[in-house]
Amino acid sequence: MSDITLRRALPEDDERLAHIGVATFIDSYVCDIDGDAIIAHCTRQHSREVYAKYLADPACSVWLAEYAATGAPIGYAVNCPPDLPIPLQPGDVELKRLYVLSRFHGSGTGPRLMQAAIDDARQRGARRLLLGTYEDNHRAIAFYRKAGFTLAGTRQFQVGEKIYDDIVLARPL
């Protein structure tokens, strides 16, 4: 879609990423996670400092999708070394985050962010791209399966006092 731009995020994009991180996480899980827990999680996991660390780490790659007419962030993706409870292979890369505001689902932004993550992992010499997602996030799972991901394991993910079951997916490169 020509009204959506995609670019590598720059160090000065940390605040933009934090805002889109909070917005997309709440947008995705508002019906699944307690309100106080989701706010506390976003405060810890989607702070400007968290994104500044990703941007400063040469082992991580971050992309930002923006609405061209206004420059407002609408989505993002982050690749990093894996932190998943499954047997890892040398050079595995984890797609740590890929979110797009629901208003832009179907715009082609998600597939463009996914392709950027796949291309980056390949350039790093990875043989697999991994990710974790909530097991009841059926829309995301369908998107990942369409992109060639298959089940590789499970993990638990805590938000607030509640433990959620996630699946870990892998895509050979």
pTM of the predicted protein model: 0.94
Write down all domains in the chain, each with its CATH number in brackets: 4-172 (3.40.630.30)
1 confidence band (pLDDT: 50, 70, 90) = low
Q: Which two tokens stand for residue 25?
A: 């996480």
pLDDT by residue (tens digit) across 76-111? Answer: 999 999 999 999 999 999 999 999 999 999 999 999
d(CA 1, CA 52): 28
Note every long-range contact of 139-145, with CB atoms under 8 Å and residues 24 or more positions apart, other chains counting.
Answer: 139/105, 140/28, 141/167, 141/169, 143/110, 143/114, 144/169, 144/171, 145/169
Which residues touch 53 (CB under 8 Å, ≥6 apart)? none
pLDDT by residue (tens digit) across 108-151? Answer: 999 999 999 999 999 999 999 999 999 999 999 999 999 999 99
